[in-house]
Each structure stands twice: as C-alpha cells, then as structure tokens.
Amino acid sequence: MFRQLLWGTAFVSTALVSATVGAVLTLMAPLPGQPAASTPAASISTLVRQTFGFRVTRPVNILVMGIDRVLDAPEDSPAVFSGRSDTMLLVRVDPLQNTASILSIPRDTQVRIPGLGVSKINAANEYGGPELAAQVVSRSLDGVPIDRYVRISTDAFRELVDLLGGVEVYVPYPMSYTDNTQKLKIELEPGQQWLNGDQAEQFARFRHDAMGDVGRVQRQQTLIRALKERLLNPTVVTKIPEIIQLMQRYIDTNLTFEEMVALANFGLGLQREDFRMVMLPGRFSTPEESVASYWILDPEGRDRIMQEYFQVEGIFTTGQDLYGLRIAVQNTTENPAIARQVANYLRKQGFRHVYVIRPSDNPQDTTQIIVQRGDLQNASALQNLMGLGEVVPASTGALESDLTLRIGSDWIHRTRG
C-alpha cells in the first residue's frame, strides 16, 4: 500500500510535469478539518481511497498549461495566468485501459486561432484564456474532447523541485542563455547531476540549440521520468502536506474537489508501465514557408496518436510496417563498434531504414526502445524480436526516427551468451 501511495503521488504530479510538475498533487488535498501533516503513509492512502470514495468512471482529457511569467501582474491576482503557455500538455486519464497518456504539444505548433489567424498555439491562452486554448487544441487534434483545464504558474516547478530535494538528470551538453524579459538566466554544465529547482527550470526551458522548442519538449519528458523516480523515494510522502500548500498557490483549474479526489484515487492504482508519453509528431517549418519558426504537425502521425492514445473516433489509419520503420541506433556502451553491430543485425533481419546516430555519454545497463512517434505496438514487436530491452513510451529519441534504440550493456551480454 505504501508503494501504491508513492506511485499515485508520482502520477498526480508527473502527469503535469513540463507544465510545472506536481500541480495535480492538489488532488491529494484533504477535506477541511481532516488530518494530513502527521498521518502515516498507509492511512493517507486509506483516507483518499476509502473515506473519499470518488472514482473516475470514464476517460477524462485534461489540458495542462504552464504559463509564462506576466511581469507586471500582482502575485495573487488572476492576471498571473493570462500570459502565453510556455508548456502545453494534453493528459488522458483512462480507467477503462488503466492508463495515463501525456501528449506534449510544442509551443511553436502552427494553428489557426479564431480572431487572430495563423499563429503559434502558445498564443491561444493569452488571447482568449483557457476556453479558447481548449477550443484551439481540440480543433487541431481531430476534435478530441477536452473536459477540464489546469493552468500553472512557472514558479511552481522551481519551488516543487526544491521541496523534493532536487532531481537527478543527465545534461547532454553545456547550456547557456539569458532572457532578460523573463528574468531567466541559464548556465548548466554537461553530465549526470542533481539539479535544484532553479537549475531544473533552466533545463526545462532551454531552447536555444539546433532542436529549438522540440528539444525543450524532449528535455521536459526527461524531467517527467526523473521526477517520477524521485517521487518514489519514501521520504517524499512526508512532504505531501507542504506540496499541497505550495501547489494551491500556483494553480488555476475548473476541476472540482470531487474530480480532483477521483483522479487521485485513480493515480493510486497506476503502475510504472501504465504511463505513456508522446510528442505531437511534425517537422520544423522552412524559411520559404514562413518568416516565423513553426512546428508543422504531421496529420498522419497526429491521427495515429489521437486514435491510439486518446481513442478519438472516426479516424481511419493504417498500421505501420515494422520493417519499414525509421530506426535510429545509439551506442551508450564503452564499445564503439556496438551501434554498427546492432544496425547490421537489424538489416539482416529485414529492416530497411536503420541508421546510426552520435553515441551517448550517458551509459545504460538496459537497452531502451524509445517510442519517438507513438507506435507502441511495433516497439513491443521489436523488443520481442531482439529478446531484450525495455520499451520507453516517450519522445526523447532521434527526432526523425520512429523508434530509437539506445544500446545498453545487456546487448554485450547477449552477444557473449
């Protein structure tokens, strides 16, 4: 039961990470007058699951937005939520499949906003609030229904990470940038390290590299996984009351208290493998298409994700040929020849589009099959064919790939065996 409580806490927070993780930890808020601060872990779980008997009875889609700082807005005024969305997630809680799906929508995604015209999707909240933002997201994503919204101030993320004692991530290269308008200064050195709240915000918001906003989305998904692991630490459960108080200061939502508790109850039953993350497929715009830099969504990729992850009806997609997938192979071991060995192995198995990418300095024990564009079925098929590895449902691999293989030391043991 204790592990379930921690995992439920991880769900409630990490479902909203990137937009500043932890917001839905407010779902754990006790009723007025109920004890919280000194309640043991098991009885907290019992309190939420039994005393508060609310349940999620149908799939629910929640639009989550992390809002840019509005510099002149009073700290406790609604105006702090009136800025552009720095991060946008569509979260689906599905009690029928017992899954939580998280779609990252790049802030530069090109959309048509009523009354504004063609623009980046992050302008929708600033122009018309959460209602317009939800309308634009729904229209852009095959009419997916959006039931609720959550808006979060970016200050929440920084303070939450500090409250948790930091988070461990791998910084792949030096990051340096200053944004005076947002009062943001980014200075990070490469390597595996513990980041405090300010540094984690820098990692999440850095976008001045070749990948731009899409690279930032990938780093945010990396933070989701790292925070998910951090929230499994037994010491975190004692901080739940403080997290609740912190998040309540930074959230605007149309979720009712009963709905919040129902979502918390659902989160208590989720396991690690029940989380699925994916980024909206697309490509960068070209200078010939637009002066502004846009993320142009891929209609076919969008349709596949909306059908598989969000069960949007009326979409007709064809399954992808496993052997025609674009598979990137990345070495994380000390043997420089491993990536080419794996690539040759896959080509001999009949895979037609396999290529090797730059090795990673972050070693892995277990080979990762990263589901870059949401094709979970073929990722599992590749795992079965290789006889090793773990499927990672997150868009943190090579941008142009369908699947990215990060080769770990288990491949070396396999070939020796």
Q: 306-332: b or e for each residue (b if 16 or more CB lie within 10 Å)?
A: bbbbbbbeebeeeeeebbebbbbbbbb
DSSP H or E run through 251: strand 251-253
Sign of CA pseudo-dihedral 194, 28, 92, 99: positive
Q: Which of 116-120, 238-242, 395-399 has the lowest mean pLDDT?
A: 238-242
- Say yes or no to pLDDT of 31 above 60: no
| Centroid of chain to Cα 223 | 8
- Burial bucket for residue 299 (CB in 10 Å: 0-12, 13-18, 19+): exposed
For residue 30, CA distances in Å to 49, 164, 248, 266, 385 come to: 12, 20, 12, 16, 48
Does residue 98 carry a pLDDT above 60? yes
**The tokens 């975190």 sit on which residue?**
236
- Asked if residue 417 has pLDDT above 70, the reply is no
Please give the distance of CA 259 from its chain centroid, rounded to a whole number: 22
Residue 208 pLDDT greater than 90, yes or no: no
Lowest mean pLDDT among 43-52, 182-191, 223-232: 43-52
Residue in this structure with the two tokens 């069960």, named with its chain if needed: 311
Asked whether residue 46 carries a pLDDT value surpassing 60, the answer given is: no
Tokens of 259: 């709905």
Greater model confidence, 47 or 18: 47
Give tens-digit pLDDT for 356-400.
999 998 899 999 999 999 999 999 999 999 999 999 998 989 989
Question: Is pLDDT of 25 > 50?
Answer: no
pLDDT band at 223 (very low <50, low <70, confident <90, very high): confident
Out of 262-276, 315-329, 353-367, least confident range: 262-276
pTM above 0.85, yes or no: no
Which domains are present in the chain? 2-308 (3.40.630.190), 322-416 (3.30.70.2390)
Q: In whole angstroms, what separates CA 357 from the centre of its chain?
A: 24
C-alpha distance across the termini of the chain, in Å: 39
List the single range of 222-226, 249-253, 266-270, 356-360 with lowest mean pLDDT: 266-270
Query: Does the pLDDT at position 256 exceed 60?
Result: yes
Task: Please report the pLDDT score of residue 383 as a whole number.
Answer: 96
Cα separation values, 379 from 103, 376, 384, 392, Å: 18, 5, 9, 9
- Enter the tokens of residue 210: 């070749």
